[in-house]
């Protein structure tokens, strides 16, 4: 019976398996391993996969070189990705002294093939194009070993607890006459229970017993047997691989891959403090090939999370506002932690937690404030270290959080409306420009201006959501003001506008101010008109009176003060002035003061024929 290559797109010898990478995890290492007969049987020049008999016949070799397995690529398809060719990275072959059919095995690092693998759902992995002879006793198979990592501890997910992974590769044939093989794992210390072992065997036969796998812990000579994939002992190689998918041979009979055993088993006897595990494989009957073995040991882990409030990783602070922090430390490993020390670039946040201990998955939290406010944004980092109670192993982590500067600026300009000259009643157009000069999004932006008589301030088009400015964005607003005479008299209009906003954490509102002095040029001007007429009944004789009337009009743009009327005509009576306001000497714009005086005609005036003078 031969495989019918049911995987679309594969050349030959293809089969599939399923695997689920947990949600939130990333594959950090993956090895593809494959093995088959070489077509060589020790002591026989014919191409064989088993001892020759007339009924079995000889094996049919793949086209090309008889050692094509040393460089022939296999094909791999992960989930919905395209089929890729995988060149062998490490090829090992039985020594010629092996007294049976010879096998080869190969492996390659295929981590990149899992870069985009879906997580949290079962995916199908297919491999094929394995170089192998076909015939009686011939086999070919593959396995894949995957190490995944969550990158950090995930609350309420015990699977994210860190483990120390030890992975060995090799090529060891085990037969009935061979001494037991011991794979020694060391260089670690288990800080709690939960150690697991895994291995890949090729060419194990279910109907031949006597083969076994067992382990010992901590240097003990007592071994505990590992049951096979069916839960039985005394027959570790039964050609059952975790995740294998059944396929159909050319004879139409459904069967699974009959050449590979892949197992991942708990080593329940390994306890906290153990630093060695020996994996022993032997056989008194069935022969097989061990290609790899691995150990997963719970190790110390610590997670430090530094945030604003336990959730948000950024906060916004004005230049006068202290940042606040929440620091949470979690034992993300196996084994209890002690001697927990936190160092921090903010002295107020450094801690030595004294006698506090944290059991696995237990946390402690505290809050602190920055040492001083800052006129710039910054990143604040905390580092934590701890030691396990068992083994005194170091666990450490660090985390950073960002403090954004919350700042806003305001500029204010003014200009007379067209046609204005700077007189009372002229309209001044004010323009306000608000800019987010910080690093945090600002909302609820409000401009206030205490100038009495200023119209409502109206915003123009916002660059995005109304009332919101992202860092670097600006918006303009406008208002109008009508000059009062008091403004013109003062020579300017001075006032201060203020802008405020809310930042992302709702603390102190950032503010900005803009002072504006709008100058008004003084243009003082006055006209004086003077009329004179003979008094009633006068004829122009000596002694007759001339009555004079004066009009003093303010034709400028400022109120006149300390006004006075002077007329140098000798003999003129002191002018009697009527002022337009209750204050002598004050003439408002556009108004006039009037005055009267009289003069008695002299003989010289009569002789001259007129009286001339200038007031």
Helical H segments across 374-512, by residue range? 485-490
Residue 603's CB: how many other CB atoms inside 10 A?
A: 10
Domain 408-519 belongs in CATH node 2.60.40.10 = yes
Q: How many CA atoms lie within 13 A of 323 on its CB side?
A: 35
Asked if the model's pLDDT at residue 439 lies above 50, the reply is: yes
Residue 139's CB: how many other CB atoms inside 10 A?
A: 23
Q: How far apart are CA 364 and CA 356, in angstroms?
A: 9
Domain ranges of the chain: 1-160, 162-297, 302-404, 408-519, 526-608
Q: How far apart are CA 93 and CA 48, in angstroms?
A: 16
Task: Write the DSSP assignment of 138-161 as a string of letters.
Answer: --EEEEEEEEEE-SS--TT-GGGS
Residue 125 and residue 93 in contact, taking contact as beta carbons nearer than 8 Å: no
- In terms of pLDDT, which residue wins out, 241 or 397? 397
Can you give the pLDDT at residue 392? Answer: 87
Give the pLDDT band (50/70/90) at residue 386. very high
Average pLDDT in the chain: 90
Phi-psi region of 472 (alpha: psi -120 to 50; beta: other; left: phi over 0): left
Q: What is the mean pLDDT of residues 250-270?
A: 73
Is the CA virtual torsion 65, 69, 70, 73 positive or negative? positive
Which residues, listed in sequence order, are joined to residue 597 by a DSSP beta bridge? 548
SS3 195: coil
Over residues 14-64, the pLDDT tens digits come to: 888 899 999 999 999 999 999 999 999 999 999 999 999 999 999 999 999
Give the pLDDT band (50/70/90) at residue 1. very low
Non-local (6+) Cβ contacts of 439 within 8 A are 316, 377, 404, 405, 406, 471
Burial of 523 (0-12, 13-18, 19+ CB in 10 A): middle
Give the pLDDT band (50/70/90) at residue 162. confident
Instruction: Answer whether 408-519 and 526-608 agree in fold.
Output: yes
Q: Which of 376, 304, 287 is nearest to 101 (CA)?
A: 287
Q: Which of 425, 426, 350 is nearest to 382 (CA)?
A: 350
Can you give the pLDDT at residue 390? Answer: 84
Over residues 183-211, the pLDDT tens digits come to: 999 988 888 888 999 999 998 888 889 99
Can you give the pLDDT at residue 247? Answer: 57
Give the pLDDT band (50/70/90) at residue 429. very high
For residue 264, the surrounding DSSP H or E stretch is: strand 260-266
Q: How far apart are CA 156 and CA 610, in angstroms?
A: 117
Residue 441's CB: how many other CB atoms inside 10 A?
A: 20
Can you give the pLDDT at residue 478? Answer: 96
Over residues 294-313, the pLDDT tens digits come to: 999 988 889 999 999 999 99
CATH class of the domain at 302-404: mainly beta
What's the chain's length in residues? 615
- In terms of pLDDT, which residue wins out, 542 or 67? 67
Asked if the model's pLDDT at residue 253 lies above 60, the reply is: no
Can you give the pLDDT at residue 2? Answer: 41
Asked if the model's pLDDT at residue 255 lies above 70, the reply is: no
DSSP structure class, residue 444: E
Can you give the pLDDT at residue 3? Answer: 46
Residue 281 and residue 291 in contact, taking contact as beta carbons nearer than 8 Å: no
Q: Find where tokens 């109008």 sit.
A: 480
Give the pLDDT band (50/70/90) at residue 476. very high
Domain 162-297 belongs in CATH node 3.30.300.180 = no
Q: What is the mean pLDDT of residues 167-191?
A: 91
Can you give the pLDDT at residue 254? Answer: 44
**What's the CATH number for 526-608?**
2.60.40
Give the pLDDT band (50/70/90) at residue 112. very high
Asked if the model's pLDDT at residue 104 lies above 70, the reply is: yes
Which of 234-238, 261-265, 455-459, 595-599 is modeled with the greatest confidence? 455-459
Q: What is the mean pLDDT of residues 215-237?
A: 91
Residue 294 and residue 187 in contact, taking contact as beta carbons nearer than 8 Å: no
How is residue 55 written in tokens? Answer: 């009924």
Can you give the pLDDT at residue 585? Answer: 85
How is residue 231 written in tokens? Answer: 């839960």
Q: Phi first, then psi: what are they for 241, rounded to 5°? A: -110, 140
């Amino acid at each position: 019976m031969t495989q019918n290559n049911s995987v679309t797109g594969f050349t030959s010898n293809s089969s599939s398996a399923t695997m689920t990478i947990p949600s939130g995890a990333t594959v950090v290492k993956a090895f593809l391993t494959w093995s088959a007969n070489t077509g060589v049987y020790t002591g026989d020049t014919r191409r064989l996969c088993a001892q020759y008999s007339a009924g079995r016949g000889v094996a049919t070799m793949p086209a090309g070189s008889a050692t094509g397995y040393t460089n022939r690529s296999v094909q791999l398809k992960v989930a919905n990705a395209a089929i890729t060719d995988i060149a062998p990275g490490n090829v090992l072959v039985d020594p010629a002294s092996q007294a049976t059919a010879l096998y080869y095995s190969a492996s390659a690092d295929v981590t990149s093939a899992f870069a985009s693998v879906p997580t949290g759902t079962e995916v199908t992995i297919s491999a094929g194009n394995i170089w192998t002879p076909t015939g009686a006793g011939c086999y070919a198979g593959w396995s894949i070993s995957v190490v995944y990592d969550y990158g950090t501890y995930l609350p309420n997910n015990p699977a994210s607890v860190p483990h120390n992974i030890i992975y060995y590769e090799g090529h060891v044939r085990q037969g009935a006459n061979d001494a037991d093989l011991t794979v020694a794992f060391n260089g670690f210390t288990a800080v709690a229970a939960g150690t697991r072992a895994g291995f890949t065997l090729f060419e194990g036969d279910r109907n031949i017993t006597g083969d076994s796998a067992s382990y010992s812990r901590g240097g003990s000579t007592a071994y505990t047997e590992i049951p096979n994939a069916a839960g039985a002992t005394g027959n570790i190689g039964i050609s059952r691989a975790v995740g294998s998918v059944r396929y159909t041979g050319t004879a139409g009979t459904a069967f699974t891959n009959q050449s590979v055993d892949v197992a991942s088993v708990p080593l329940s006897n390994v306890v906290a403090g153990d630093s060695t595990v020996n994996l022993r494989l032997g056989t008194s009957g069935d022969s097989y090939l061990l290609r790899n073995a691995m150990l997963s040991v719970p190790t110390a882990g610590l997670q430090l999370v530094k945030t604003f409030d336990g959730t948000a990783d950024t906060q916004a602070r004005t230049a006068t506002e202290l940042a606040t922090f929440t620091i949470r430390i979690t034992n993300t490993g196996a084994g209890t932690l002690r001697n927990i020390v936190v160092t921090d670039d903010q002295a107020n946040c450094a801690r030595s937690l004294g006698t506090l201990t944290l059991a696995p998955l237990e946390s402690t939290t505290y809050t602190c404030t920055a040492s001083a406010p800052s006129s710039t944004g910054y990143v604040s980092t905390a580092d934590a270290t701890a030691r396990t109670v068992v083994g005194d192993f170091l666990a450490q982590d660090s985390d950073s959080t960002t403090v954004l500067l919350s700042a806003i600026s305001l500029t204010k300009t003014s200009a007379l409306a067209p046609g204005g000259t700077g007189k009372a009643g002229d309209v001044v157009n004010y323009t306000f420009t608000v800019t987010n000069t910080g690093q945090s999004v600002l909302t609820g932006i409000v401009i206030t201006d205490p100038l009495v008589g200023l119209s409502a301030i109206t915003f123009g088009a916002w660059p995005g959501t109304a009332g919101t400015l992202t860092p670097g964005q600006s918006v303009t607003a406008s208002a109008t003001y009508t000059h009062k005479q008091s403004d013109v008299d003062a020579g300017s209009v001075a006032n201060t506008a203020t802008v405020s906003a809310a930042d992302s954490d709702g603390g102190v509102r950032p503010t900005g101010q803009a002072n504006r002095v709008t100058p008004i040029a003084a243009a003082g001007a006055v006209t004086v008109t003077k009329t004179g007429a003979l008094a009633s009944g006068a004829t122009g004789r000596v002694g007759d009176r001339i009555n004079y009337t004066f009009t003093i009009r303010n034709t400028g743009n400022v109120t006149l003060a300390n006004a006075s009327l002077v007329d140098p005509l000798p003999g003129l009576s002191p002018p009697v002035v009527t002022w337009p306001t209750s204050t002598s000497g004050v003439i408002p714009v556009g108004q006039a003061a009037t005055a009267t005086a009289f003069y008695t005609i002299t003989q010289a005036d009569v002789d001259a024929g007129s009286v001339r003078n200038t007031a």
